[in-house]
């Protein structure tokens, strides 16, 4: 009964987003598209960081790989945008497998730092290999041969579709064997292995899925903005924002990361668009607020019916 009701609400919200472009103007279509994109990046991050508990701060490297692969394949090989996106995502996943086996042996902060290093290294390659990638000047993609309004509407639907794919992936993982393995690894990796879970392969699979989706998002981003440069697509702030969104919504849940993306992007567009200079201050305050007041995310708070006692309990638990 409860599940049916939830499904109905989900379908209604989904339909709402389908008809929304008819009602809103160009600016808001771009804002919602950007929310979708962050929903995708955050949902992908959730697979490795939320379920498996591996803080992949450098996950943005897959975004950059997806973006650059799409750009290179379109410009140098003449691929259609979607072909570039898919190949870029496959390359990102492959890269995750190659670096994953050594790097996922590290735990905690060491893993987080290693992923940051990988991101910087790949960014440096994109910068220095100017003859191929365009280097620090960036690179311009072929412009779409259509009217700008319908192009933005198309991007909106592509990203909406990607978001649904991300949600579906998270849902399938959460309900399946892989999800239980990842959560067990997050909670206690030694106990997980003692239960017969092949932790290294599970982590690599999770990271590859995460990389694939992030790579797709990067590819669409490149096509959408039709200009990319290393500083934009390897920007660590993309990953930091995704982390804040994931924690805000609820790490390790299916809907939480997407919910977080919506909340934070809406705040960012409506509130700190007005305060450009203290933008980072607000982000920092949100991080601290989340950790203190809702360490398990909004979704958990909703489940506790937003009660004051739940909030107080969260604060009390901090001191322990």
Partner 1 sequence: MALLEGKDLSKFFGALAAVDQVDFQIEAGEVLGLIGPNGAGKTTLVNLVTGVYPLTRGELYFEGRRIDGLKPAVIARMGIARTFQIVKPFPGMTVRENVVVGALFGKGGAQRNIKTAFEEADRWIEFVHLQDYRNDSVDRINISFRKRMDLAKALAMGPTLLMLDEVMAGLNTKDIEEMMALVRRINRELKITLLVIEHVMKAVMGLCQRIIVLHHGRKIADATPQEIVQDERVIEAYLGERYAKARQRSA
Q: Is 8 in the site for partner 1 (CB under 8 A)?
A: no
Take residue 60 and report the two structure tokens written for it.
Answer: 């943005």
Q: Which of 124, 140, 149, 195 binds partner 1 (CB under 8 A)?
A: 195
State which of residues 110, 198, 275, 306 lies at the interface with partner 1 (CB under 8 A).
198
Looking at 78, 176, 273, 284, which residue binds partner 1 (CB under 8 A)? 176
Q: 228 forms bridges with which residues in the sheet?
A: 139
Alpha helices in 129-255 (DSSP H): 130-133, 148-175, 177-187, 189-194, 199-225, 230-233, 236-249
Q: Is 224 exposed, middle or buried (0-12, 13-18, 19+ CB in 10 A)?
A: buried
Residues pairing with 139 in the sheet:
228
The secondary element (H helix, E strand) that includes residue 140 is strand 139-140
Among 177, 280, 292, 303, binds partner 1 (CB under 8 A): 177
DSSP structure class, residue 304: T
- Least distance from partner 1 to the Cβ atom of residue 240, Å: 23
313 binds partner 1 per the rule CB under 8 A: no
Using DSSP, state whether 127 is helix, strand or coil.
Answer: helix
Counting residues that bind partner 1 (by CB under 8 A) gives 21
**184 makes contact with partner 1 (CB under 8 A):** yes
Q: How far is the CB of 252 from partner 1 (least distance, A)?
A: 7
By the rule CB under 8 A, 192 interacts with partner 1: yes
Residue 185 Cβ vs partner 1, minimum distance, rounded to whole Å: 9
Q: Which residues bind partner 1 (CB under 8 A)?
A: 175-177, 180-181, 183-184, 186-188, 190-199, 252
């Amino acid at each position: 009964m409860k599940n049916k009701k939830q499904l109905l609400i989900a379908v209604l919200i989904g339909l709402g987003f389908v008809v929304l472009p008819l009602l809103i103007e160009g600016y808001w279509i771009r804002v919602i598209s950007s929310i979708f994109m962050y929903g995708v990046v955050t949902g992908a991050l959730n697979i490795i960081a939320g379920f498996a508990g591996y803080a992949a701060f450098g996950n943005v490297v897959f975004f950059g790989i997806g973006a650059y692969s799409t750009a290179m394949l379109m410009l140098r090989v003449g691929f259609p945008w979607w072909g570039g996106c898919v190949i870029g995502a496959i390359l990102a996943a492959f890269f995750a497998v190659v670096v994953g086996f050594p790097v996922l042996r590290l735990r905690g902060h060491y893993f987080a730092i290693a992923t940051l290093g990988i991101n910087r290294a790949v960014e440096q390659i994109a910068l220095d290999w100017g003859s191929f990638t365009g280097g620090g000047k960036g690179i311009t993609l072929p412009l779409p041969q259509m009217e700008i309004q319908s192009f933005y509407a198309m991007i909106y639907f592509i990203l909406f579709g990607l978001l649904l794919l991300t949600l579906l992936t998270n849902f399938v993982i959460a309900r399946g064997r892989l999800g239980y393995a990842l959560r067990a690894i997050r909670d206690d990796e030694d106990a997980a292995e003692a239960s017969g879970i092949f932790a290294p392969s599970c982590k690599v699979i999770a990271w590859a899925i995460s990389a694939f989706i992030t790579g797709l998002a990067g590819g669409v981003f490149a096509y959408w903005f039709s200009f990319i440069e290393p500083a934009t697509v390897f920007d660590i702030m993309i990953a930091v924002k995704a982390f804040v969104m994931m924690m805000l919504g609820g790490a390790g849940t299916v809907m939480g990361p997407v919910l977080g993306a919506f909340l934070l992007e809406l705040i960012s567009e409506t509130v700190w668009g007005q305060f450009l200079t203290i933008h980072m201050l607000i982000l920092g305050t949100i991080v601290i607020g989340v950790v203190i007041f809702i360490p398990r995310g909004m979704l958990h708070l909703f489940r506790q019916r937003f009660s004051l006692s739940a909030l107080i309990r969260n604060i009390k638990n901090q001191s322990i």
